[in-house]
Structure 1
Amino acid sequence: MGMSYRRYLYGERVYGCSKCKTHLATIHSMISRAFNGQHGRAYLFESVVNIVEGEPCDRPMTTGNHTVRDIYCIKCNTTLGWKYDKAYEVSQRYKEGKFILERNLLVDVQ
């Protein structure tokens, strides 16, 4: 395994890991602020960078069963949220391939 390089993001608002400030996503990739994580409010993003994905597992959530994988910061390994792999409810399929980042684990960088 080679070295891992982190991507740096640019824009009017960049979200980073609250522990090490590694860039994760921009405001332009945010889809919704109306989500809840395991520890409070969360945001739904179209794309996230500088993460490592865990193994998929089925989880019962308030909107039904989903196959998700936890996501971690590539630099400090802090758990940041999860990625939706599969939604079993037809009305929730828009979440597939999207990412949840918990608000209290994010900071504004730049």
Structure 2
Amino acid sequence: MSENFYGSTGPAYYVSRVINCDLLKPEVKTMRTGKYTIRSLTCKQCGVDMGWKYIHSDNFKEKYKEGNYVIELGFLEQAEG
């Protein structure tokens, strides 16, 4: 787990696996570090947005992200509140 990642709401966790989450349809997004195909991630129990899974990166230097997840702390705080 890495805490050096940021999402749209601020700090985020970068993790290699998640549980109790659903993946939405793939979509292409342009982010700070490039263009990616991602799948948004929602909580299986409550449906709250949690973050995303990296499916594909066009940038060779960002390929290490493929198959991993970003969980946004701001989304977790919204789910708790």
TM-score, L = length of structure 1: 0.67
The two structures, once aligned, show a CA RMSD in angstroms of: 1.1
Matched residues in 1 for 2:65 and 2:34: separation? Answer: 12
Structure 2, unaligned stretches of length 5 or more?
none
Rg larger in structure? 1
- Tell me what 2:75 maps to: 105
Structure 1, unaligned stretches of length 5 or more?
1-29
Contact 2:9–2:75, Cα closer than 8 Å, also in 1: no
Alignment of 1:9-28 (within 5 A): none
- Tell me what 1:77 maps to: 47
Deviating above 2 A after TM superposition, structure 1's stretches of 4 or more consecutive aligned residues are 104-107
- Count of residues in Structure 1 that have an aligned counterpart in Structure 2: 77
Query: If each structure's helix is expressed as a fraction of its own residues, which one has the higher value?
Result: 2
Superimposed CA distance per residue, residues 23-64 of structure 1 (whole angstroms, 9 cap, x where no aligned partner): xxxxxxx1x111111111111001001000000011001100
Query: If each structure's strand is expressed as a fraction of its own residues, which one has the higher value?
Result: 2
